[in-house]
Amino acid sequence: MTTDHVQEADVGPGTAQLEAEFQNRVAADQRIEPRDWMPEAYRTTLVRQIAQHAHSEIIGMQPEGDWLGRAPSLRRKAILLAKVQDEAGHGLYLYAATETLGVDRADLTERLIEGRQKYSSIFNYPTLSFADVGVIGWLVDGAAICNQVPLCRSSYGPYARAMVRICKEESFHQRQGYELLLTMMSGTDDQRQMVQDATNRWWWPSLMMFGPPDGESPNTRQSMAWRIKRHTNDELRQRFVDITVPQAHRLGVELPDSALSWNPERGHYDFSEPDWDEFTQVIKGYGPCNAERISRRAAAHRRGAWVREAAAAHAAKSRRREEDR
C-alpha cells in the first residue's frame, strides 16, 4: 500500500461525498438511522422538532388532566385516564427518539422549563367544561393525526417508528372525543350549547397547530428537502379542514367561520386565516395558560427528584453487583 492509500483510508470519505450519499439515501426514501452519518443541521432540526413534540405530549396532559377528578361517570373517567396516560407514553417514546441523536432527556426537560424550547401552542388554552374534553379529542387529536400520519414516513428511523404507534393511539383518542360529543349532542339543550361553545373556542387554536403559513415558515423548505416533513403546514391545515367540516355537519355543530364554504374549482373548502398575531403571542409565552402550564411542569419535575435519585442509586447498585460477580 502506498502512503497515499494509507492517508485516504485514515481520513475516510470527505464531507461532500458523505453529504451526497446522505441526500441520495433520503431521496430514495431510505431511512437514516442513529449510527449513520448525517449533516449537523439535520441532527439539530430533528432534536428541535422531536423535543418540541415530546414536550407537547407531556404538557398536553394538563388541560385534559384537569377534568380527571370531575368526569361525569366512571366510564368517562376510565377513558380519559387511559388517554392521558397514553400522552405520557408518547412523550417518553419521543424523548427516547431524541436521545438516539445524542441529547439527554434531563437537559431537554430543563430547556422546556426554562422556556428555551417550545411546545405546541394548543395547550396554552384552558379547558372550561367537560365538552372541551370531547372537542380536544375531535379537533386537537384530529389535527394531530393529520400532521403525524405523514411523519410515520419521516426520514429519521427512530422518529418514524415512534410515530406509527403514536398514531394508532391518537386514532383511539379522536374517536373517544367524537363519541363523547355525539352523546352530548343527543342530550339536553345545555349540553348541546356546551359542545358549540367548546367548538367555538378550540377551532382557531386547532388550525394554528399546523404552524405558520408556508410563506412565513422558516423551517419547512429544508425539512421537506430532508424528508423530515412530508407536507407543508398549509397543505396539512387544508387537509384537516376538508376532513373536519363533514364531521361537524354530522355532529350538528357550527364551525365559527362565516367564510367556510366548498370551492368546487379547488376541490377544497375555503376558510379564513386564523389570527396569526394571537399565535405569535402564544408561542412567545403570552397565551392564556403558558405560565400555569410551565410552573406546574416545573413543580412536578421538582417533586419527582427523589424518584430520579432512587432510580439512579438502584442502577448504580445493580451495576456494582454485576461487576462483583
Query: Which residues contribute to the site for ligand BYC (CB under 6 A)?
Result: 48-49, 52-53, 56-57, 60, 87, 118, 120-121, 140-141, 144, 147, 208-212, 217-220, 223, 229, 233, 283
CB 261, CB 270: distance < 8 Å: yes
97 or 195: CB nearest ligand BYC: 97
80 or 140: CB nearest ligand BYC: 140
Q: Taking the complex as a whole, how short is the minimal distance between the CB of residue 24 and ligand BYC, in angstroms?
A: 23
Q: What is the DSSP string of 258-273?
A: TT-EEETTTTEEE-PP
Q: Taking the complex as a whole, how short is the minimal distance between the CB of residue 317 and ligand BYC, in angstroms?
A: 35
Q: Taking the complex as a whole, how short is the minimal distance between the CB of residue 318 and ligand BYC, in angstroms?
A: 34
56 or 109: CB nearest ligand BYC: 56
Place of cell 403571542: 281
User: Which residues, including other chains, have CB under 8 Å from residue 258's CB and lie 6 or more apart?
Assistant: 272
Measured at the CA of 83, the angle between CA 312 and CA 165, to 5 degrees, comes to 75
Rounded Cα–Cα distance for residues 239 and 252 (Å): 21
Rounded Cα–Cα distance for residues 36 and 22 (Å): 9
- Measured at CB, which residue is nearest to ligand BYC? 60
Q: Taking the complex as a whole, how short is the minimal distance between the CB of residue 179 and ligand BYC, in angstroms?
A: 16
Closest CA to 111 of 312, 300, 294, 311: 294
Q: Taking the complex as a whole, how short is the minimal distance between the CB of residue 276 and ligand BYC, in angstroms?
A: 11
262 or 276: CB nearest ligand BYC: 276
132 or 192: CB nearest ligand BYC: 132
56 or 129: CB nearest ligand BYC: 56
Residues in the chain: 325
- Number of neighbouring beta carbons within 10 Å of residue 70: 12
Q: Taking the complex as a whole, how short is the minimal distance between the CB of residue 243 and ligand BYC, in angstroms?
A: 15
CB 290, CB 128: distance < 8 Å: no
